[in-house]
């Protein structure tokens, strides 16, 4: 009887050990999925930022301001490096990610290469339309990877972290894209020296869209308890102020003035400051998600305050000037 008890005890111990191994492997898989997903999101955001900049510069150049040509060439080099960096990331963490890595991203890159080759022969409107389509595809991939790899992965340790994800991959990127579109359209208008009736309609629509997205982003940050955390990037009030300055310039100098006197360079700089303030918030949220992953095994309560992570010494990556790293 003692022998049977011993065998039963050993069998139970083996089952328990096997269960522990399975759980640990699953946790390790989830961690890898989260880490790689965060890298994908960071690089996609970098690529969106650079392609938005290229769109605005191209709009000004095609509307008559040749001074942007050198900057466009440098921007293309940055974008090519980002495509290569994305190509080097693992795509085996999920079927959808594998599809993005093996099919969607190569198609976006093909479209980008074709756009660059044909750019000098395009109208400003066609250039903006094609840029915007490519950026839209990148934003779609960003949302998919965020939902697949980030949502629910660390929420069990701090439920608020799961609320960070939609703000990180959807709300703020959508705001940056609306701002990017008004930068591109306005850069063309300032380079041409006048705004057509069609331009005015588009600018007016984008002002409405930006104000709407600005409110949604602030509400999402407030709902997730992240407004205080956003202060590490100057605060949402700083973003609202920068966006307000841009929209004031659009109304005053492009819509209400009979003659456009603001220079393309001044307009582009003002719009870029507003967009950079949005990406600074995105970078803070990215750091928070990374920080949540690092402390995950030690997190015991969702009531603990969310703290901004310290920057690691020696960390290098592409980043928005004046903003924390995105990738």
* pLDDT-based confidence at residue 67 (cuts at 50, 70, 90): very high
Mean per-residue pLDDT for 44-71?
A: 97
Give CA–CA dist 320/315, Å, rounded: 15
Alpha-carbon torsion, ordered 318, 320, 323, 325, to 10 deg: -20
* pLDDT-based confidence at residue 296 (cuts at 50, 70, 90): very low
Mean per-residue pLDDT for 167-195?
A: 96
Length of the chain, please?
Answer: 327
- The helix/strand/coil state of 297 is helix
126 pLDDT above the threshold of 70: yes
Mean pLDDT of the chain: 82
Q: What is the pLDDT of residues 208-262, one digit of tens each?
A: 999 999 999 999 888 878 777 777 667 888 999 999 999 999 999 999 988 898 9
Burial class (CB in 10 A: 0-12, 13-18, 19+), 60: buried
Q: What is the largest CA-CA distance in the chain?
A: 100
Got the DSSP string for 71-82? Answer: HHHHHHHHHHHH
Phi, psi of 319, rounded to the nearest 5 degrees: -155, 160
Q: Residues of the chain with pLDDT > 70: what percent?
A: 76
Give CA–CA dist 188/199, Å, rounded: 9
Distance of CA 59 to the CA centre of its chain: 22
- Structure tokens belonging to residue 299: 């997190």
- Pairwise pLDDT comparison (315 vs 272), residue with the higher score: 272
Q: What angle do CA 97, 128, 248 make, to 5 degrees?
A: 110
Q: Is pTM, for the whole model, over 0.85?
A: no
pLDDT of residue 302: 30
Report the sign of the C-alpha dihedral through residues 320, 140, 172, 41, in that order: negative
pLDDT of residue 312: 35
pLDDT of residue 293: 62
Phi, psi of 301, rounded to the nearest 5 degrees: -145, 140
Radius of gyration of the chain (CA): 23
- The helix/strand/coil state of 308 is coil
Asked if 95 contacts 69 with a C-beta cutoff of 8 angstroms, the reply is no
């Amino acid at each position: 009887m003692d022998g049977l008890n011993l065998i039963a005890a050993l069998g139970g111990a083996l089952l328990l050990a096997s269960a522990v191994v399975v759980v640990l492997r699953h946790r390790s898989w989830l961690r890898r999925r989260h880490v790689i997903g965060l890298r994908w999101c960071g690089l996609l955001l970098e690529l969106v930022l650079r392609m938005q900049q290229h769109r605005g510069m191209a709009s000004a150049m095609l509307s008559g301001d040749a001074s942007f040509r050198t900057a466009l060439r440098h921007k293309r080099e940055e974008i090519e490096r980002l495509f290569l960096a994305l190509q080097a990331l693992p795509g085996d963490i999920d079927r959808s990610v594998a599809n993005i890595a093996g099919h969607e991203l190569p198609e976006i890159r093909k479209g980008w290469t074709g756009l660059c080759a044909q750019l000098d022969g395009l109208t400003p409107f066609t250039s903006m339309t094609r840029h915007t389509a490519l950026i839209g595809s990148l934003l779609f991939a960003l949302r998919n990877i965020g939902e697949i790899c980030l949502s629910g992965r660390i929420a069990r340790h701090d439920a608020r972290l799961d609320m960070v994800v939609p703000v990180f991959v959807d709300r703020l990127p959508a705001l940056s894209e609306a701002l990017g579109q008004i930068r591109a359209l306005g850069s063309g208008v300032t380079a041409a020296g006048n705004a057509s009736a069609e331009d005015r309609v588009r600018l007016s629509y984008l002002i409405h869209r930006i104000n709407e997205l600005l409110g949604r982003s602030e509400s999402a940050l407030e709902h997730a308890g992240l407004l205080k955390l956003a202060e590490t990037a100057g605060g949402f009030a700083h973003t609202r102020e920068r966006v307000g300055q841009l929209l004031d310039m659009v109304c005053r100098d492009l819509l209400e003035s009979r003659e456009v006197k603001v220079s393309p360079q001044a307009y582009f700089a003002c719009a870029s400051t507003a967009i950079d303030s949005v990406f600074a918030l995105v970078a803070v949220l990215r750091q928070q998600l990374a920080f949540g992953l690092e402390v995950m095994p030690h997190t015991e309560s969702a009531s603990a305050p969310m703290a901004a992570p310290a920057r690691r010494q020696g960390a290098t990556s592409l980043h928005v000037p004046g903003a924390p790293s995105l990738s």
